[in-house]
Amino acid sequence: MDTISIILVILLGLSCGSFINAWIYRTEKKESLLGRSHCPTCNIELSWRDNIPVISFIVLKKQCRHCKKSISWQYPIIELWTMFAFIYTFVTHDLQFTPELVRDGYIVILLTFIFVYDLKYQYILDKITLPAISILIVLNLIFSWMSPTNMLISIAVGGGFFLLQYVVSKGRWIGGGDIRLGVLMGVILGWPYVIVGIFLAYIIGLITVTPLLLARKKHMGEQIPFGTYLSVATLICMFHGEYLLTTYLSLWTF
């Protein structure tokens, strides 16, 4: 049964990765998600055999069957990432199909979209974060995953932290999308792990940006897609927030 379940999770992860790629492209191009997939260069609709996650990329040798234009590495990378993320999520839930597993799978899809979209276009979409916040608030209340008090505190901390920066800097340091993403972090992580998530995001950002500044590939004051760091930190804390907090506090225990 476990083998069959893992196979199903692998297939689901690859399919969801393919969906994320389509979602990103069609959102930016303002296209419907319901239409058939097509080559972004020649616009010819793709057949099912050209739309198989990872496999089609390999068989087609990284190019469109019709116009021979190169296919971005983003497609197989996101598909494989989502597959491994789904497997890891399934394992952390002891190979059990539960409401929590569905929630965490949804969060993986959501944060992957935000990560890639902000990395490519340096923008966090309200039409993605606001519905997600509403959905997760309702689910938290229905399944009692987080108490109303805990949720209010984590939302106030997550959103308030970035709102304060936005007001002080008059929007120069961060954008409004980061505020909504901070609220989303609060709804996902709860108190006190939302603090761990924010702290971790800055550490990841520092580790990533510092070498780029030293190599002069980035310059002080240049816009940085901070939503990518927040997405990664949120995902890490969703699985390991308690461990990170305990480890950090132990460093101060003498």
What was the pLDDT predicted at 132? 96
How confident is the model at residue 220, as a pLDDT? 61
Write down the pLDDT at residue 119: 92
Q: Kindly state whether residues 60 and 104 are assigned to the same domain.
A: no
- pLDDT of the residue at 254: 60
- For position 208, what pLDDT does the model report? 87
What is the pLDDT, as a whole number, of residue 221?
60
Enter the tokens of residue 37.
Answer: 């997939």
Amino acid 185: pLDDT? 97
Residue ranges for the chain with pLDDT beneath 50? none
Range of the domain at 166: 99-254
pLDDT of residue 84: 96
pLDDT of residue 210: 80
User: End of a domain among 62, 79, 97?
Assistant: 97
Beta bridge partners of 63: 70
For the four alpha carbons of 249, 156, 117 and 23, in that order, the dihedral sign comes to: positive
**pLDDT for position 118:** 94
Secondary structure letter of residue 90 according to DSSP: H
243 and 137 in a common domain: yes
The answer to whether residues 122 and 181 belong to one domain is yes
